[in-house]
């Protein structure tokens, strides 16, 4: 897995959309082939910012990341 930010963001986004349950950074790292946790944290933060103004948000709760509908 490339750790180039745009490629990693796409992979994280697709993985979380396809997942039945929220995922930890450790679980994402395993699923994506050993990506560094710091790189995953950066990708998740970037995605959360991108989704902040949309109808779906990327959120972290209890160390697990998932998409949810916006409260409005």
Q: Is 63 left (phi over 0), alpha (psi -120 to 50) or beta?
A: left
**At residue 2, does pLDDT exceed 60?**
no
- pTM passes above 0.85: yes
Task: Tally the domains of the chain.
Answer: 1
Tens of pLDDT, residue by residue over 10-44, are: 999 999 999 999 999 999 999 999 899 999 999 99
Structural domain for 60, as ranges: 5-69
- Which CATH number belongs to the domain containing residue 47 in this structure? 1.10.10.10
Q: 26 vs 21, 57, 72, CA distance in Å?
A: 14, 21, 31
**Predicted pLDDT of residue 3:** 60
What percent of the chain stands above pLDDT 70?
96
């Amino acid at each position: 897995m490339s750790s180039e930010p745009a490629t990693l963001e796409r992979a994280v986004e697709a993985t979380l959309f396809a997942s039945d349950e929220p995922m930890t950074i450790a679980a994402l790292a395993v699923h994506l082939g050993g990506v560094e946790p710091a790189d995953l944290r950066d990708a998740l933060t970037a995605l959360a910012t991108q989704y902040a103004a949309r109808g779906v948000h990327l959120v972290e709760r209890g160390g697990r990341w998932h998409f949810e509908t916006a409260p409005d």
